[in-house]
Structure 1
Amino acid sequence: MVQTIPAAFFQRPDPTQIARELLGKYVFSRIDDELTGGRIVETEAYSHEGDNSLTMHLKRRGQHGQALYELGGRAYLYTVYQRHTLFNIVTNAADVPNTVLIRAIEPTAGIDTMLRRRGLESIARNLTAGPGLLTQALGVTPALTGTDLQGNVLWLEDHGEDVPDAQVRASARVGLAYAGAEAASLPWRFRIKDSQWTSPAK
């Protein structure tokens, strides 16, 4: 039975549990009346406790990071390298800044639209296999920061699929050397094994 994932799912205290359980769920956007989306195959968790990467991020982003202090169940979107938008989901209670980054999806809806947005002629891994690629394909920009994920612009669905632990790979997150060895080594990146749609980042 397909159902929209309720806000309570995201308002739990452990972002690693949420990131792990989002594997196999679906994320959708409706931008300019065009539906796009797909199955989540890769995520990363970030916590306000014991995770220097998030602490440093909040210091760098300043007021732009305020969306992370909202009650869980909203989008937090920002640009890196003045080019790529990252799609994070705010988790936990209000004023407790945890988040889950959606890193890759298997495209299932609106593929022609996604191809056009990405400037591609045929479907391939680089359509949505990376956090900056999937947001471009979904038409998602930082203007949508704070969007309620139970609405009709951005939302997530549970299609009744539970990905077993044997099919999940947990590893260190990507690009966190700046945050120190402890944060960089946390095994908080979750991927579905053998999926061709996970990002190629090591």
Structure 2
Amino acid sequence: MSFLGQGAEAVAPALLGGRIVSLVGGERTVGRIVEVEAYTGLDDPASHSARRIGRTARNEAMFGLPDTAYVYLIYGVHWCLNVVTAPRGEPEAVLIRALEPMEGLPVMARRRERQRDLASGPGRLTQALGVNGSLDGHPLAQPPLRLELPRTEDRPSRIGVSGRIGIRRARRRPLRFFEEGSPHVSRGPHARLDLEPLSSQDLPEPPLP
């Protein structure tokens, strides 16, 4: 099984410190992943692929290969970027919630029409990277949108854990993971849980690039 096919709950915290590289529109923008949420498929009532929903045109990408982008629209305004993280036919994915801007900050600021909070939130980061629904189902191993797994030196030393943000079902499940102390983590109401932070040493190791 590939690293990215181990399931959303296992893969999500191990993505922290990785990078999303966008060449959309011929402009390079890069962000380091600092916040994610896991959606664990058929038995997760908050997932778009929950058993009560089934397989639809909207969530089709979730049933594809691991390392595929699942991009969807919320509130008719904001695109959200997810990474498929289970074998084909097992619809699990990790929502990328926040990035630390690394490259192409002027491009991000122009797209966002502001200088601050460029990628602190799922809708903000897709706008900053130029991501939209045309990239739904895109293989994240190739341009114009790539996922680079974290190197050992890029991984956070302490990983916070909480309930997920902006959902009503199963919001207390400890499936939101974030880099503790990062100013780029999104803000929003979430279920605060009395949990110890994770250590990156306890997570599965991505393959060497």
Alignment TM-score, normalising by the size of structure 1: 0.86
Which secondary structure does the structure 2 equivalent of 1:185 belong to? coil
Write the distance in 1 (CA, Å) between the matches of 2:29 and 2:86: 27
Pair 1:69 & 2:56 matched = no
Which region of structure 1 is more displaced relative to structure 2, 24-33 or 134-143? 24-33
Distance 1:61 1:112, change over 3 A: farther
What is the aligned partner in structure 1 of residue 35 from structure 2? 42
Query: For the aligned residues, what is the CA RMSD?
Result: 1.8
Which secondary structure does the structure 2 equivalent of 1:45 belong to? strand
What is the aligned partner in structure 2 of residue 145 from structure 1? 136
Q: Within 5 Å, which residues of 2 pair with 1:174-193?
A: 174-177=165-168, 179=169, 183-193=170-180
- Residue number among 92, 95, 100 corresponding to 2:94 in the alignment: 100
Note if contact 1:15-1:91 (Cα within 8 Å) is conserved in structure 2.
yes
- Residue number among 18, 24, 33 corresponding to 1:25 in the alignment: 18
- Residue number among 105, 109, 125 corresponding to 1:111 in the alignment: 105
Question: Which residue identity does 1:93 align to in structure 2?
Answer: P
Higher helix share: 1
What is the aligned partner in structure 2 of residue 8 from structure 1? 2
Write the distance in 1 (CA, Å) between the matches of 2:25 and 2:42: 38
Distance 1:28 1:58, change over 3 A: farther
Tell me how far 1:201 sits from its aligned partner: 1.0
Tell me how far 1:35 sits from its aligned partner: 0.6
Write the distance in 1 (CA, Å) between the matches of 2:51 and 2:118: 27
- Residue number among 121, 126, 138 corresponding to 1:135 in the alignment: 126
Report Cα offsets for 1:1-21 as digits up to 9, x if no partner: xxxxxx922111x31121100
Tell me how far 1:154 sits from its aligned partner: 1.0
Give unmatched runs, 5+ long, in structure 2. Answer: 190-209
Report Cα offsets for 1:25-61 as digits up to 9, x if no partner: 1111111110101110000000125311114598288
Tell me how far 1:172 sits from its aligned partner: 0.2
Which secondary structure does the structure 2 equivalent of 1:108 belong to? strand
Tell me how far 1:114 sits from its aligned partner: 0.4
Write the distance in 2 (CA, Å) between the matches of 1:92 and 1:58: 19
Identical aligned residues as a percent: 36
- Residue number among 39, 44, 57 corresponding to 1:51 in the alignment: 44
Where relative contact order (Cα < 8 A, 6+ residues apart) is larger, the structure is: 1
Write the distance in 2 (CA, Å) between the matches of 1:61 and 1:78: 14
Which secondary structure does the structure 2 equivalent of 1:150 belong to? coil
| Aligned residue-pair number | 186
Give unmatched runs, 5+ long, in structure 1. Answer: 1-6
Q: Within 5 Å, which residues of 2 pair with 1:161-172?
A: 161-164=154-157, 167-172=158-163
